[in-house]
Structure 1
């Protein structure tokens, strides 16, 4: 069997070490872009490999062969059981994507209805209640929701830092990254460690943006720590200052920004190399299938009438 089929399916296993190696060695902005893009490419490559194999099985169907004008006798390399298995996996992935999309749409509608009941002040909605909660929502031009309980848990400087963190999520369009991360993890569950690392990088990116706006990294670190201790984890489809491994975020804020260019370049090279390899193998597999179909068409073409051999009898 062509190894090009297995490469894009097995490469996501590298997400486990990459999640530990890449994220801490890259600046948060670069890590967010690199990990999100890498996760999408790996998910797309794996899905494309499954699709190519399933389509190869469909080429043996008489109706498909008739429409494509090729001979099924020339397609002796097709692994029918594998093609059926790939088709079943694709069906499961399609169902998972549909389920996630429905959940996201319902969450957006419910959240919009709840937030629409409040009047925002400078883009900030104060939720009445003692439960400490704070998050940003991208709908309606971007809104930040924070509860009375969260406000009571922070002093004025820490409130400003928390709001700066949430504003950074909206300003930097982090919710688009989150949608891409969620899609990649749904298409390929093996990518969940990489996607978790990408989500952590987004929080770190917002932390650094807030620290730059406030001008005090210590205040941002205290705000993140207090918010995490007082509040609950953010919803799956939202970004909040309480997300990700908070101790690691606080440690990064309290330490001076690390500048390790060789390690960062090496990490970026590894991610780009893996994603590029995965994409290239899928392109090679698609090219091979295209060439096989062209050969099957040439095999099926009658020298006189240029009709498929299987249907020569129909002309007679």
Structure 2
């Protein structure tokens, strides 16, 4: 457990370096999967590592050592991690668990509320048009979900662009994009170093929906123009958001990337040829996650050996 237990924590520092290349160079659907899985795996690995370091500190306490029939003296002698490291790990672990639990509860409540609100919107085709001059459009998760569009948004777009708007929002529902955002956000809550991955996911799900709309309509330039017009219409209007954070909109202004200019990047991507799957980035991501998983397993094995040693004395 000398080095292996710290590797997941060190690998988390690479999150800002891998988030942007994956979101910009890799096909959006694949990028979303890679970013979300990376956030979940690295969050789990770092949480387990903090737990292992915390245990090495707990077995130093005579009362707790007696409960496990371990030798506190042997633990202090053979444990490679110092008590200060174990204390810091315990504090970080407690904070990670509490933050992740709070985010999990909030997300669950949001999804339940979204499903309840969607159920109260009876419609034969899943489209709900609300009388509101504020341009707005978003996908509301549910069983089934709903696409909610304001009359202000319909008036801001040409009638020939309405099909792009609907294709984009329906792509959010069909691919369950809110789950990717939720899982990535949960990983970032457990490990704040992974926030760039969660931020990137809020962008790639919009790109995924853009590409789906382009595939449905067969006109990438028209989709790019519609995305830009919808964003401009929403920017001119007072900032209003749906009551449910699980909603996903065509202009992507509800995510952390809103202030970083995601719409111009999406428009530029639509005006360029479609991105392909990038084998190099996929292999690099897989290698990083494999190292994190193997190092965590190795650290757990080392702790097992330590407990056997301190239990034999």
**TM-score when normalising by structure 2:** 0.87
The aligned counterpart of 1:247 is 264
Cα shift readout 1:221-269 (whole Å, capped 9, x = no counterpart): 122111111125867533221115011111111122244x6xx121112
The aligned counterpart of 1:310 is none
Take 2:227 and 2:56, find their aligned partners in 1: how far apart are those partners? 52
8 Å CA contact 1:157, 1:219 repeated in 2: no
Deviation of 1:106 (Å)? 4.7
The aligned counterpart of 1:149 is 152
Among 268, 276, 295, the residue aligned to 2:282: 268
8 Å CA contact 2:49, 2:296 repeated in 1: yes
The aligned counterpart of 2:35 is 35
Q: In terms of Rg, which structure is larger?
A: 1
In structure 2, stretches of 5+ residues that fail to align are: none
Please say if 1:288 is aligned against 2:297.
no
The aligned counterpart of 1:238 is 247
**TM-score when normalising by structure 1:** 0.86
8 Å CA contact 1:134, 1:150 repeated in 2: yes
Q: Where do 1:1-316 residues align within 5 Å? A: 2-76=2-76, 77=79, 78-108=81-111, 111=114, 115=118, 117-231=120-234, 236-243=245-252, 244=257, 245-259=262-276, 264-299=278-313
Deviation of 1:63 (Å)? 4.3
Q: Select between 228-237 and 148-157 the one with higher mean Cα deviation.
A: 228-237
Take 1:53 and 1:71, find their aligned partners in 2: how far apart are those partners? 17
Change (3 A) 1:57 1:193: same
Deviation of 1:154 (Å)? 1.0
Residue aligned with 1:182, SS: helix
8 Å CA contact 1:120, 1:126 repeated in 2: no
Deviation of 1:103 (Å)? 3.3
Deviation of 1:52 (Å)? 0.8
8 Å CA contact 2:119, 2:143 repeated in 1: no
8 Å CA contact 1:233, 1:242 repeated in 2: no
Take 2:70 and 2:106, find their aligned partners in 1: how far apart are those partners? 43
Take 1:102 and 1:180, find their aligned partners in 2: how far apart are those partners? 12
The aligned counterpart of 1:304 is none
8 Å CA contact 2:114, 2:142 repeated in 1: no
Root-mean-square deviation (Å): 2.2
8 Å CA contact 2:19, 2:196 repeated in 1: yes
Take 1:148 and 1:203, find their aligned partners in 2: how far apart are those partners? 22
Deviation of 1:186 (Å)? 0.7
Take 1:16 and 1:96, find their aligned partners in 2: how far apart are those partners? 21
Take 2:208 and 2:82, find their aligned partners in 1: how far apart are those partners? 46
Residue aligned with 1:296, SS: helix
Deviation of 1:68 (Å)? 2.4
In structure 1, stretches of 5+ residues that fail to align are: 300-316
Deviation of 1:295 (Å)? 1.4
Take 1:279 and 1:117, find their aligned partners in 2: how far apart are those partners? 44
